[in-house]
Structure 1
Amino acid sequence: MNKIDARGLSCPAPVLETKAAVESRHPEHIEVLVDNEPARQNVVRFLESQGYQTRTGRDGGSFSVVGTGGDPAPESKAAVPLTDGAGKKIMVMVAADCMGSGDDELGARLMINFIKTLKEMGDELWRLVFVNSGVKLTITGAGTLEDLKAMEDAGLSILVCGTCLDHFALLEKKQVGQTTNMLDIVTAMQLADKVINI
């Protein structure tokens, strides 16, 4: 079995090491050791995107993610699924829980209004990505949660930085979106026709 010890590595290194092993050796079995929940989720999601069946074990502060199967010679698969539409693909990256600077209370209200209004972009809104304190908009009690859930239910892909959730100790409070890593975010940026940073 191919074994990767990615403990102590920060995002996106565990996924990148796993990706390199899968692409170079196409192992039938692979085990990846990580030491945090976001890395575990990201490795599991990547392996499953490559056709592996996964199981996770835990020993103290470490997780063991074992992948079995996989494609013998996987075709190129993005961890972030592609769109089927022929329209423009706009990615919006939200890096703060309030908009602008000067008054945080006003900024928080502006951000709620911004999220509510995003649906006006229609099908061109392809990915909504939350990083840094922007992840606070995806948790229990956030004033944006109802609108984000409605957009996700309507088919919008929402990505939420796992490292950021972990930093703010909010991993268990996330209520919407897919916990993701920097590799998926960079891939989404490459695939997007336009990236808007907020």
Structure 2
Amino acid sequence: MKNKVILVSSDQLGAGDKELGETILETFFTLLKQREEKPVAIFCMNRGVLTMTDESLISVHLRELADQGVPVLACKTCVEYYKIQDQLTSGELSSMNKFIELASKYDILTIS
């Protein structure tokens, strides 16, 4: 995960069954936070910002990754679109400019 930014663009992993996709995404973040090598940052956009609320089990893992020093960033436009500004329980608001800056320096691993 060294030198990688994880782009989370959905609240589930894969396009199949929603419940299965949520479970797989939770497993991904459970295993990620246990690794010694962490990503440079996690950037959530589109439905990925929904993982940063208590409605998602993934928010617990994102908080733990943030506590371990990994910046967890939310696309401000997406947060405003879904009207969840007051529901974010992990991470912080960010901008597309920040994502472009990260993408110019690091490899992007897209989770969708």
What is the DSSP-based 3-state SS (H/G/I as helix, E as strand, rest coil) of the residue aligned with 2:36?
helix
Structure 2, unmatched stretches of 5+, are: none
**Aligned residue number for residue 189 of structure 1:** 103
Whichever of the two has the greater Rg, that structure is: 1
Higher relative strand content: 1
CA shift, 1:141, in A, is: 3.0
- The letter for the 2-side match of 1:114 is F
**Aligned residue number for residue 94 of structure 1:** 8
- The letter for the 2-side match of 1:151 is L
**Aligned residue number for residue 19 of structure 1:** none
Q: Distance in 2 between matches of 1:147 and 1:104?
A: 19
Indicate if the aligned counterparts of 2:73 and 2:91 stay in contact, CA closer than 8 A: yes
Q: Which runs of 4+ in 1 moved over 4 A?
A: none
CA shift, 1:88, in A, is: 3.5
CA shift, 1:120, in A, is: 4.3
Alignment deviations for residues 35-85 of structure 1 (CA, whole Å, 9 cap, x no partner):
xxxxxxxxxxxxxxxxxxxxxxxxxxxxxxxxxxxxxxxxxxxxxxxxxxx
Distance 1:174 1:195, change over 3 A: same
Indicate if the aligned counterparts of 2:12 and 2:18 stay in contact, CA closer than 8 A: yes
CA shift, 1:113, in A, is: 1.0
1:116 to 18, 30, 46: 30
Instruction: Output the aligned Cα RMSD.
Output: 1.6
**Aligned residue number for residue 148 of structure 1:** 62
Q: Distance in 1 between matches of 2:73 and 2:108?
A: 14
**Could you tell me the percent identity over the aligned residues?**
23
Structure 1, unmatched stretches of 5+, are: 1-86
2:45 paired with 1:164:
no
Higher relative helix content: 2
Greater relative contact order (CA < 8 Å, ≥ 6 in sequence): 2
Q: Distance in 2 between matches of 1:195 and 1:159?
A: 14
